[in-house]
Amino acid sequence: MSTPTPANTAVPETVKPSNFLRQIIEHDLEKGTYASRRWAGSPGDAAHHAAGQPDPAKIRTRFPPEPNGYLHIGHAKSICINFGLARDYGGVCHLRFDDTNPEKEDTEYVNSIKDAVQWLGFGWINGGESNLYQASDYFDFMYRAAEYLIEAGHAYVDEQTAEQMRINRGDFGKPGVDSPFRTRTPAENLARFREMRNGLHEDGSMVLRARIDMASPNINMRDPAIYRIRRATHHNTGDTWCIYPMYTYAHPIEDALEQITHSLCTLEFEDQRPFYDWLLERLIEGGLLASPPPRQYEFARLNLTYVITSKRKLAQLVYDHKVSGWDDPRMPTIVGLRRRGYTPASIQTFVERIGVTKSDSWIDYSTLEGCLREDLELKAHRGMAVLNPVKLVLTNWDAVMGAGHLEPCSLPALPHHNHEATQGAAEGVEIPVRHFTIGKELWIEREDFEEMPPKGYKRLFPGNKVRLKGGYVIECTGCTKDAGGNITEVLATVVPGTKSGTPGADSVKVKAAITWVAVADGVSAEVRMYDRLFLDAHPDAGGKDFIESLNPNSLKVVTAIVEPSLANAKPDDKFQFERHGYFVADRVDHAAGKPVFNLAVGLKDSWGK
Ligand code: ATP
Ligand code: MG
């Protein structure tokens, strides 16, 4: 468990460690790289923005998800980076649905993405202006830009088969070969392209390609395809189009229309950057797009041990019923993490802690867990829950306390706040307290009793005394068993006058305190004990079949007995079950009278012997 940093060495929260992206932005701000930009209040071409005002946003970034699945922890990194940098440098971050691919989008995904961004603590409304966009709104411009490229001799319609195109592209050691269609005139290409748009040709029979350099050492510059024929109904534009732009063509245009300054993406797009720059230069030359153009910068994607970060593979887990849904608490989706008990603050801290670099690496899952523990340590109310209950009977209770007597007990819900209790009270700050009772019959953890204690065991065994946390000191006298030799009840006597918080509490010294819940006011609860979903630290590395390393024991459901304060939880409330870890009241299934808790993360320090 981390100890709080002493005040005199604490780093102020506003001082964030620098990284290469921050350095680039600071450099651009200092040089005024983007100072001349204008913004017309909405995305658009050069003329549109020229009529606007000087851009009030110092920088513009964007988070551009494809709405084809639920976002995962990798996307959370990208969200925190893009929205976080915009916030820190007087800029604005756009949320843009990259919906240029007609096949896979779904409004369920669109809504879940908006929820995820907001839940993480970010938004797209800036100064009353909504910077929420969808790339399919730019199809008209993309088409116009394609016609311009054709007219300027920068693009041509290629009718080679896909196989011929693949062969003629060459490879790393071999330059490509020009297509026989490469020398068509702009007029011929324009006519052909319009035929494509008008539905006169079969899907896949031809493509529009940029005319760049078939001998370029960068294969992405060997006349990449920029438009294809695809008869598909688009969720936004319906059947208006039977041709769709390729991602590599669409993305730079989307950025430029939105006046993005710093277009941040993961390293796999590094090889696309020359085409990104080439395309925007051509369209600026033609007067279609505003200058200066956005610049692309790449950072390392998040790889987390024991976790898969691919929407497609996560979808497979859902559709094959390996998990209960996108929000299964074992899923690394944002909805899954949320249901597991993760907080926005813990995820933001995680992203800051792992930093931004240009080299791929694996982050240990425990880093994420540590961030949650740190956040909950000071915030989560404490409570006692017995996860593997056995009954404890205080055989002298009725004689010394009175038959059927229930003694009220209490403990602080936030022990850390106790130091400030006096000041708190003075300022009218309420110090939360949990109330419960103790009686003759209690529930304790089965592992807290040993008939034949191993060496060093300090908890209940015949003749030993322990404290019932927040209650009394008791002395163990033995146990009862069933015919099969299984322990049915642990027996002890209460030592009167030793109640916690009373003057006699310290009169009897004990070596251990154990957790418990009274039979009288304990409430039974379903507790879902989650473990990692995969046994392999790198479940899908090197093309491995990740299904094979699914952990068969990633979920164990137990019936626990919890103290009354826990039974009164509201969905999403987080607690530290003393000695067990952090738990959250399940946001889907928990209800008054039917408590359901999920294990969020265990305590770092294991329970002593
Ligand atoms: P997936 O393979 O899971 O579908 P993707 O990259 O195709 O991921 P997009 O919706 O296109 O998903 O991604 C939106 C943004 O999130 C992109 O800018 C992408 O670079 C970023 N992103 C996706 N995965 C990660 C990751 N693991 N780490 C950091 N950023 C990521
Ligand atoms: Mg993608």
Give the pLDDT confidence of 304-359 residue by residue, as tens digits. Answer: 999 999 999 999 999 999 999 999 999 999 999 999 999 999 999 999 999 999 99
Decide: 382 and 415 in contact? Cβ < 8 Å: yes
CB-proximal residues (5 Å) to ion ligand 2: 66
Q: How far is the CA of 63 from the centre of ligand 1 (A)?
A: 9
Q: How far is the CA of 290 from the centre of ligand 1 (A)?
A: 27
Q: How far is the CA of 49 from the centre of ligand 2 (A)?
A: 29
Nearest CA to ligand 1 atom 24: 74
CATH topology of domain 152-247: Glutamyl-tRNA Synthetase; domain 3 (3.90.800)
Q: Do the bridges between strand 581-585 and strand 596-602 make them parallel or antiparallel, or are there none, so unpaired? A: antiparallel
- Confidence class for position 424, pLDDT limits 50, 70, 90: very low
* pLDDT per position as a tens digit, 448-483: 999 999 999 999 999 999 999 999 999 999 999 999
Average pLDDT over residues 487-495: 98
Residues flanking ligand 1, CB < 6 Å? 64-66, 74-75, 77-78, 265-266, 301-302, 309-311
pLDDT beyond 50 at 608: no
Please state the atom number of ligand 1 nearest to the C-alpha of residue 310.
Answer: 3
Q: How far apart are CA 125 and CA 113, in angstroms?
A: 15
Q: Which two tokens stand for residue 471?
A: 């209650």
What's the distance, CA 322 to chain centroid? 20
Please state the atom number of ligand 1 nearest to the C-alpha of residue 266.
Answer: 20
Average pLDDT over residues 535-541: 95
pLDDT beyond 80 at 103: no
DSSP 62-102: EE---SSS--BHHHHHHHHHHHHHHHHTT-EEEEEE---SS
Q: Which two tokens stand for residue 63?
A: 């988070």
Decide: 10 and 255 in contact? Cβ < 8 Å: no
Please state the atom number of ligand 1 nearest to the C-alpha of residue 66.
Answer: 10
Contacts of 417 (CB under 8 A, 6+ apart): 424, 431, 432
Torsion of CA 541, 542, 545, 546, to 10 degrees: 0
User: What pLDDT is attached to residue 89?
Assistant: 98
What's the pTM value of the predicted model, to 2 decimals?
0.92
CATH topology of domain 390-519: Ribosomal Protein L25; Chain P (2.40.240)
Q: How far apart are CA 193 and CA 199, in angstroms?
A: 10
Just list the catalytic residues.
Answer: 66, 301, 311
3-state helix, strand, coil in the chain (%, to 5): 30, 25, 45
pLDDT beyond 70 at 439: yes
Nearest CA to ligand 1 atom 13: 65
* pLDDT per position as a tens digit, 379-414: 999 999 999 999 999 999 999 999 999 999 999 999
User: What pLDDT is attached to residue 605?
Assistant: 43
User: What pLDDT is attached to residue 427?
Assistant: 57
Contacts of 152 (CB under 8 A, 6+ apart): 186, 282, 285, 286
* pLDDT per position as a tens digit, 13-22: 556 789 999 9
Nearest CA to ligand 1 atom 27: 74
Q: Which amino acid is at 330?
A: R
User: What pLDDT is attached to residue 332?
Assistant: 98
Q: Which amino acid is at 46?
A: A
Question: What is the 8-class DSSP label of residue 558?
Answer: E
Closest-approaching ligand to the CA atom of 77: 1
pLDDT beyond 90 at 444: yes
- Confidence class for position 4, pLDDT limits 50, 70, 90: very low
Q: In testing the pocket of ligand 1, which one of 62, 266, 334 has its CB within 8 Å of the most ligand atoms?
A: 266
Please state the atom number of ligand 1 nearest to the C-alpha of residue 67.
Answer: 10
Closest CA to 555 of 305, 375, 388, 340: 340
Please state the atom number of ligand 1 nearest to the C-alpha of residue 314.
Answer: 3
Question: What is the 8-class DSSP label of residue 272?
Answer: G
Decide: 334 and 117 in contact? Cβ < 8 Å: no
Average pLDDT over residues 285-302: 98
Angle value at C-alpha 462, between 461 and 467, nearest 5 degrees: 60
- Confidence class for position 606, pLDDT limits 50, 70, 90: very low
Neighbouring C-beta atoms of residue 425, cutoff 10 Å = 11
DSSP 351-378: HHHH---SS--EEPHHHHHHHHHHHHHT
Backbone phi, then psi, for 398, in 5-degree steps? -60, -40
Q: How far is the CA of 85 from the centre of ligand 1 (A)?
A: 18
Q: How far is the CA of 405 from the centre of ligand 2 (A)?
A: 64
- Confidence class for position 592, pLDDT limits 50, 70, 90: confident
Which class for 201: exposed (0-12), middle (13-18), buried (19 or more C-beta within 10 A)?
middle
Please state the atom number of ligand 1 nearest to the C-alpha of residue 269.
Answer: 20
**How many contiguous H segments (helices) and E segments (strands) does the chain have?**
16, 31
Closest-approaching ligand to the CA atom of 66: 1
User: What pLDDT is attached to residue 14?
Assistant: 55
Cα four-point dihedral sign 351, 354, 360, 364: negative
Nearest CA to ligand 1 atom 9: 65
User: What pLDDT is attached to residue 16?
Assistant: 75
Distances (CA, A) of 368 to 85, 119, 340, 371: 21, 17, 13, 5
Q: How far apart are CA 339 and CA 375, in angstroms?
A: 16
Q: Which two tokens stand for residue 40?
A: 């017309």
Asked, colleague to colleague, whether 152-247 and 390-519 share their fold, the answer is no
Torsion of CA 438, 441, 447, 452, to 10 degrees: 120
pLDDT beyond 80 at 125: yes
Decide: 140 and 250 in contact? Cβ < 8 Å: no
Q: Which two tokens stand for residue 231?
A: 């008869």
Nearest CA to ligand 1 atom 3: 310
Which class for 4: exposed (0-12), middle (13-18), buried (19 or more C-beta within 10 A)?
exposed
Q: How far is the CA of 74 from the centre of ligand 1 (A)?
A: 7
Decide: 150 and 156 in contact? Cβ < 8 Å: yes
Which class for 320: exposed (0-12), middle (13-18), buried (19 or more C-beta within 10 A)?
exposed
* pLDDT per position as a tens digit, 502-519: 999 999 999 999 999 999
Q: How far apart are CA 441 and CA 172, in angstroms?
A: 76
- Whether residue 64 is preceded by a cis peptide bond, meaning omega within 30 degrees of 0, is no
The 3-state DSSP class for residue 571 equals coil
Class of domain 303-384+520-609: mainly beta
- Confidence class for position 3, pLDDT limits 50, 70, 90: very low
Question: What is the 8-class DSSP label of residue 503?
Answer: G
User: What pLDDT is attached to residue 419?
Assistant: 52
Q: Which two tokens stand for residue 519?
A: 């039979």
Closest-approaching ligand to the CA atom of 117: 1
Q: Which two tokens stand for residue 200?
A: 């006169």
Q: Which of 119-128, 139-148, 180-189, 596-605 has the lowest mean pLDDT?
A: 596-605
User: What pLDDT is attached to residue 565?
Assistant: 95
- What residues does each domain of the chain span? 152-247, 303-384+520-609, 390-519
Q: In testing the pocket of ligand 1, which one of 72, 78, 251, 538 has its CB within 8 Å of the most ligand atoms?
A: 78
Question: What average pLDDT does the structure give for the chain?
Answer: 94
Q: How far is the CA of 159 from the centre of ligand 1 (A)?
A: 33
